[in-house]
Amino acid sequence: MIKRMLLAAFLFSMGLPLFSQSDADTTYVFRFVPGREMFYVPWGDNEESLDAILEALSANMEQLKNGERYINVCSYSPTPGDGLSPVRMSYRRSQRVKSELIIRGGATEEMFVTDRYTSAVYCEGMRDIVVVTFPASVEKVAKLAGAEAAAKVEAYNKEISGETERERLAAEAAAQREEQARAEAERLAAEQAARAKAEAERLEAEQKEKARLAAEEQARLQAEEESKAMPFRLALRANLLRWATLTPDLGVEWRINRHVGIGIDGTYTSWTWNNNDRRYALWEITPEVRYYLGKVKRGYIGAMYKAGAFDYKLSTTGKQGDLMGGGITGGYRMQLNKSFFMDFSLGLGYIHADYEKYVTIDGVRVTRGEESNNWWGPTHAGVTLVWSLF
């Protein structure tokens, strides 16, 4: 509201400067070069404004000398420069304008009421200006020159206008306060809405960031679990229990995915002693399918099949025949380092064997009949060294 009133007064003063000596107060705007304190009269409309206010002062010099009217000077939104702070720049510019009015118009320092530094912009786009208001209002005189000076100005105004200046100012002040309150309420409401929107956007961004980080962490953990669960695709293995009984055993395992592995083991041995009267010979092929359990896929269950042939003669009677069977397996794999693991396993199931008995007479095998045998129980035991190839 104040800015609109001042702008209207400024436009009025620019358009009709010859009426500045009337009873109504008039504003005169003087422009300054940004960042400079020097007052250039030819700059902008300064010369026209200066002529207008000098004419008004000349017409009201008696009232100015009697203290019935005052000149108000205010510097608005100065740009720092010339090594001066905004406050100091404001003071210097006000003094420059006052000096012109004193020198050219015959005014004295006692005729002025000077505002301190004002950082606000006078009107939109209007910075680096000094505004002179004449005559100064009673309220401004009371604020800057004191109650006694204001009372004298008010008495003069009442004498020439027939109205009480203070009442008029009170009504204007009330309207101004109402307008300011409304504007402040609108500003606070807009700020609150902006803060609420910003907070909502911030919370939404935080939630998205948390979700992204959680997804990344989940992916990382899953990758680690997969890495731990399936450290190899193809591996060689050797059952150390078999090797301990002088029965060489080698196998291979291929991991199809995290859960499923397919393996096959082969066993072969052939030993004779006591002039070939004693014999221990065996070969077996054992395919197996495993399903790995748990997060790190260390434990497993599986199914195996076994087929082979044997020739045992550990006493006077030997047995030679074929075997076939299968069952379920279970075990646990322990990691030794990046490439080696120890696999502990046990199998339970069924084995069927068809064989013939024989004795050896003068180096010749003599058959003593045929038999078969069915076995239910442990069919496999392993302490296996696993070597991961890739």
pLDDT digits (tens, 9 = 90+) for 128-152: 889 999 999 899 899 988 999 999 9
Residues forming a β-bridge with 340: 387
Is the pLDDT at 25 greater than 80? The verdict is no
Q: What is the pLDDT of residue 8?
A: 41
| Domains of the chain from N-terminus onward | 2-163 (3.30.1330.60), 234-388 (2.40.160.20)
Using a 10 angstrom Cβ sphere, with 0-12 exposed, 13-18 middle and 19 or more buried, the burial of residue 325 is: buried
- The label of the residue with tokens 């392993």 reads 382
pLDDT digits (tens, 9 = 90+) for 227-266: 555 556 899 999 999 999 899 999 999 998 888 999 999 9
Residue type at 2 in one-letter notation:
I
Confidence of residue 222 (pLDDT cuts 50, 70, 90): confident
Q: What is the pLDDT of residue 125?
A: 64
Mean pLDDT, residues 277-290? 94
Is the pLDDT at 3 greater than 50? The verdict is no
Q: What is the pLDDT of residue 86?
A: 84
How many CA within 13 A on the CB side of residue 299? 4
CB 152 within 8 A of CB 68: yes
Distances (CA, A) of 65 to 52, 69, 98, 152: 19, 8, 16, 12
Percentage of the chain modeled with pLDDT above 70: 87
Q: What is the pLDDT of residue 90?
A: 87
pLDDT digits (tens, 9 = 90+) for 153-203: 988 888 887 665 566 677 788 888 899 999 999 999 999 999 999 999 999
**pTM of the entire structure?**
0.42
For residues 182 and 170, what is the distance between their CA atoms, to the nearest angstrom? 18
Q: What is the pLDDT of residue 289?
A: 97
